[in-house]
A and B are shown apart, each in its own frame.
Chain A
């Protein structure tokens, strides 16, 4: 269980704003952070990963304190055991697909690498370097690499934003498959309503750093007339 109670000054779409989050996320959840650009979604992911320091508050994963401003605790990213998938995927160009995945392992285990290659249908590409891969293939490698470290929390920053519609649908399925199989607490940034309905078990909707709604996707979006009309246009 991840407990977040933090504040962080940031620059939002409307100028200066304070990101204020008070939330508890269960272990098997796939939470979607939803909102317009500059709402604070990526900042929150970075804070959870230990890449950005909040101004004050506390973050706990089960009984481990990740951040506590009063006690001056701030665990570095290396000690949080999170998997972070960046928008640009950040695959290491000097390593093959297989090496990218095995690099992430804390203890080398070729069988696990093979399993991940198979799970994400990457076997045929395992000796390729990232510059030879398509956007969708890169996304699958990045996801496999993030999971290879067996993270407690998986953080996905708009993982599908750079892909075309068909590819997005196919890879939404991959993300759901990985989440169901590994049951890792997953937090994903998105501003695609369809993606949220397809993947998320719960949603936090952010605006200028503030949580404006949270709950199950259907509940969150049915409360808003703007989003309700958009929901009706979804194909499923």
Chain B
């Protein structure tokens, strides 16, 4: 099999894997706060997190490019202090991908937290357990289907991401050229067979992930 084909798929997996891992760490505290805490600007936070669901990816990609530019404050600060340029780099695409995939991680986790009866948390508190112990011992084990759904949705969404990646990363083989961009590129070059190979792999992966999610949601009781 063509090395370029394999490298592109590996890079796609790497981007989706890192995005899911980072969002897994960031997503739990955010979704916990959104599920259980009250603060006046909560609707704004929820709206911002959900924006990628309705916003064209090119809009976010454009703003990310502007932010990364050394002519602007954030980009200049990165360049001066760390000698880092994020535009058209894997790291730059990764940050954009994390932001763009936020709702796919946060919303299932938030739904998982809110679906657990309030009396579970309150019982744990009256038994002397801290919020952290309650989180680890009571909440997380009782929302495993939501956790798997969140991780799988994030991963699947990342694998298919196109707009943000092409805006922020362009089409650099081995650096930012993920499978969805490669398909577009191969079609433009009329290499339909290669485009078909990429498409088939993405189709199968997406189908497997969605089948996993639906089979988990259909058998939630399987965990207990």
Per-residue interface assignment for chain A, residues 64 to 93, with 1 indicating a CB less than 8 Å from any chain B CB and 0 otherwise: 000000000000111111111010101011
Q: Looking at B126, B129, B141, B142, which has the most chain A CB atoms within 10 Å of its CB?
A: B126
A188 to chain B, nearest CB (A): 15
Per-residue interface assignment for chain B, residues 81 to 124, with 1 indicating a CB less than 8 Å from any chain A CB and 0 otherwise: 00000000000000000000000000000000000010110110
**For A78, what are the chain B residues with a Cβ–Cβ distance below 8 Å?**
125-126, 128-130
Taking CB atoms and an 8 Å cut-off, the chain B residues in 112-168 that contact chain A are: 117, 119-120, 122-123, 125-130, 137-138, 141-142
Task: Say whether A92 contacts B138, CB under 8 Å.
Answer: yes
> Which of B119, B130, B137, B224 sits near A90, CB closer than 8 Å?
B119
Task: Say whether A103 contacts B137, CB under 8 Å.
Answer: yes
Residues A86 and B141 in contact in the complex (CB < 8 Å), given A78-B129, A78-B130: no
CB closest residue in chain B, given A94: B141
Residues A104 and B141 in contact in the complex (CB < 8 Å), given A93-B224, A94-B223, A131-B221: no
Q: Looking at B127, B128, B221, B223, which has the most chain A CB atoms within 10 Å of its CB?
A: B127
Task: Say whether B142 contacts A94, CB under 8 Å.
Answer: yes
Task: Say whether A51 contacts B125, CB under 8 Å.
Answer: yes
A61 to chain B, nearest CB (A): 14
Residues A149 and B127 in contact in the complex (CB < 8 Å), given A94-B142, A94-B223: yes
A104–B126 Cα gap in the complex (Å)?
9
A216 in contact (CB, < 8 A): no
A79–B130 Cα gap in the complex (Å)?
10
> Which of A77, A103, A129 sits near B122, CB closer than 8 Å?
A77
A49 in contact (CB, < 8 A): yes
Task: Say whether B117 contacts A129, CB under 8 Å.
Answer: no
Task: Say whether B126 contacts A92, CB under 8 Å.
Answer: no
**For A94, what are the chain B residues with a Cβ–Cβ distance below 8 Å?**
138, 141-142, 223-224
Residues A84 and B128 in contact in the complex (CB < 8 Å), given A94-B223, A131-B224: no
CB closest residue in chain A, given B141: A94
**For B129, what are the chain A residues with a Cβ–Cβ distance below 8 Å?**
78, 103
Task: Say whether B123 contacts A86, CB under 8 Å.
Answer: yes
CB closest residue in chain A, given B138: A92
A92–B130 Cα gap in the complex (Å)?
16
A106 in contact (CB, < 8 A): yes
A81–B125 Cα gap in the complex (Å)?
10
Residues A93 and B123 in contact in the complex (CB < 8 Å), given A78-B130, A106-B128, A131-B224: no
CB closest residue in chain A, given B130: A78
Q: Looking at B117, B128, B138, which has the most chain A CB atoms within 10 Å of its CB?
A: B128
A146 to chain B, nearest CB (A): 8
> Which of B119, B130, B224 sits near A88, CB closer than 8 Å?
B119
A145–B120 Cα gap in the complex (Å)?
13
Task: Say whether B128 contacts A86, CB under 8 Å.
Answer: no
**For B120, what are the chain A residues with a Cβ–Cβ distance below 8 Å?**
90, 92
A129–B222 Cα gap in the complex (Å)?
12
Taking CB atoms and an 8 Å cut-off, the chain A residues in 12-61 that contact chain B are: 49-51
Task: Say whether B122 contacts A51, CB under 8 Å.
Answer: yes
A210–B200 Cα gap in the complex (Å)?
70
Task: Say whether B119 contacts A86, CB under 8 Å.
Answer: yes
B126 to chain A, nearest CB (A): 4
A172–B181 Cα gap in the complex (Å)?
69
**For A90, what are the chain B residues with a Cβ–Cβ distance below 8 Å?**
117, 119-120, 122-123
Q: Looking at B117, B122, B130, B141, which has the most chain A CB atoms within 10 Å of its CB?
A: B122
Residues A84 and B122 in contact in the complex (CB < 8 Å), given A93-B224, A106-B128: yes
**For A104, what are the chain B residues with a Cβ–Cβ distance below 8 Å?**
127
- Could you list 4 further interchain pairs (A-B, Cβ under 8 angstroms) beyond the known A51-B126, A81-B128, A103-B137? A92-B142, A93-B224, A106-B128, A129-B224
Interface residues of A (CB under 8 A from B): 49-51, 76-84, 86, 88, 90, 92-94, 103-104, 106, 129, 131, 145, 149, 155
Which 6 residue pairs across A and B have the least CB separation, nearest first?
A94-B141, A90-B119, A77-B125, A84-B126, A90-B123, A86-B119
**Can you spell out 8 A-B residue pairs with CB atoms less than 8 angstroms apart?**
A51-B125, A90-B119, A92-B120, A92-B141, A93-B224, A106-B128, A145-B127, A149-B127
Interface residues of B (CB under 8 A from A): 117, 119-120, 122-123, 125-130, 137-138, 141-142, 221, 223-224
